Amino acid sequence: MSSVYMNEMTWQEFNEKKCQVIILPVGSTEQHSFHLPLSTDSVIAEKISEIFAEKIGGAVAPTFTYGYKSKPMSGGGPLFPGTIDLNGETLIRLACDVLEELCRDGVTKIFVNNAHFENEAFLLEAIDLISQKYPNVKILESNWWDVLSQDIIDKVFSDVLFPGWALEHAAITETSLMMYLAPELVREDKIPTETGVTPIPYHKYPIVKGMVPESGALASAKGSSAEKGKIIVDAAVAEFVKIAAENY
């Protein structure tokens, strides 16, 4: 049975795929409140990458399951047990090494699918460094939230006010995505009933307890559903397919 996952292929099977788009999912290992697993970002990145790969005949590289540190106002940072963060330099080096290995293997089309808000600057630094060494390799980077139209956002946030992407942590979008992509990992009975923080226009270090709600959720997950998750996935994958068609 064929698979889009690179780590389930033999080297010969991957060699036959390397002329196609190779998708690199990037997530994190981070608290996602009482009701979602530490692997939330990684699961979302990988599952969306699988659907995307099936649409375009591509392959999915092994997922990065660790990411850069979240700030208090976008995830909680080191305040919760189980959150395992990388330093920025480590993520850059990791991404550089993996991207360069793919380039050396003869891959010429790479799509980095990031699902952890804080990763982007470090991934783009790695992509820039590698593109200078391998100018003939086309590397794209995107995420599921930036490609959503206002119409899709309005559909997903039909019950509550959209709080902004930084506070949409373990809230409606991620909860809905997990309900659709990996429902067996969602503890629906543990979704917090009262959540939310007041955004502040600065960052304060060292991070101390109390800067993030005890639940770890920054906004309400009220109104989450698998149906909304499907709306997000379908819209994001359609945009990824369009981006790939326009740029490779």
Q: Which residues are catalytic?
A: 30, 32, 41, 116, 118, 169, 174
Residues in contact with 6: Cβ distance below 8 Å, sequence separation at least 6, in sequence order: 14, 17, 22, 59, 60, 61, 62
- Cα atoms found within 13 Å of the Cα of residue 184, Cβ hemisphere only: 1
Give the number of other Cβ atoms within 10 Å of residue 150's Cβ.
8
Burial of 193 (0-12, 13-18, 19+ CB in 10 A): exposed
Sheet strand arrangement including 59-60: 59-60, 22-26, 109-114, 138-143
Token pair for 142: 């995107």
Name the β-bridge partners of 59.
22
Return the closest-CA partner of residue 107 out of 36, 166, 58, 171: 58
Cα(238)–Cα(113) distance, rounded to whole angstroms?
14
